[in-house]
């Protein structure tokens, strides 16, 4: 098996023939399997300082105010959509218990809306926004 640092790809002479990049390095089939196993367990294959492939952990994403706010808003929107569906179902099919069910859903929505506002305020305070 061969590994090309310039492409980050693996090449088999039996499959790729003479189209293998010129910077390719020989690696054992055992090392190739180790690298694939590591990749399947969430690691990343990169070229080491010597050009040979190594396994590294993926960098953790850097959280920013905007990315955290987007996540909070997306979670909130999912919950609002659930409340809207529940409210509509109560309206369409619950007959005499419709009003009490809708009042309960409305109260749950108000609690969630307050929680979301508090979460956004805490996020703003943490980032100084």
At 125, is the pLDDT very low, low, confident or very high (cuts 50, 70, 90)?
A: very high
- Could you tell me which of 16, 15, 20 has the C-alpha nearest to residue 4? 20
Beta bridge partners of 11: 2
Read off φ and ψ for residue 98, nearest 5 degrees.
-55, -50
- In three-state secondary structure terms, 48 is coil
pLDDT at 37 over 90: yes
pLDDT value of residue 102: 92
User: CB–CB of 23/5 below 8 Å?
Assistant: yes
Average pLDDT of the segment spanning 23-39: 96
List the structure tokens of 25: 């390095």
CA distance 49 to 5: 10
User: CB–CB of 37/11 below 8 Å?
Assistant: no
User: CB–CB of 21/6 below 8 Å?
Assistant: yes
pLDDT at 26 over 80: yes
pLDDT value of residue 92: 86
């Amino acid at each position: 098996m061969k590994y090309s640092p310039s492409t980050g790809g693996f090449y088999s002479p039996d499959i790729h023939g003479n189209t293998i990049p010129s910077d390719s390095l020989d690696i054992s089939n055992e090392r190739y399997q180790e690298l694939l196993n590591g990749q399947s367990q969430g690691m990343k294959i990169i070229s080491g300082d010597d050009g040979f492939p190594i396994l590294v952990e993926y960098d953790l994403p850097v959280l920013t105010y905007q990315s955290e706010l987007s996540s909070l808003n997306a979670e909130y929107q999912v919950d609002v959509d659930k409340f809207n569906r529940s409210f509509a179902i109560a309206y369409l099919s619950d007959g005499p218990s419709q009003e009490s069910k809708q009042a309960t859903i409305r109260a749950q929505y108000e609690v969630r809306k307050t929680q979301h506002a508090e979460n956004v305020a805490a996020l703003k305070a943490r980032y100084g926004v």
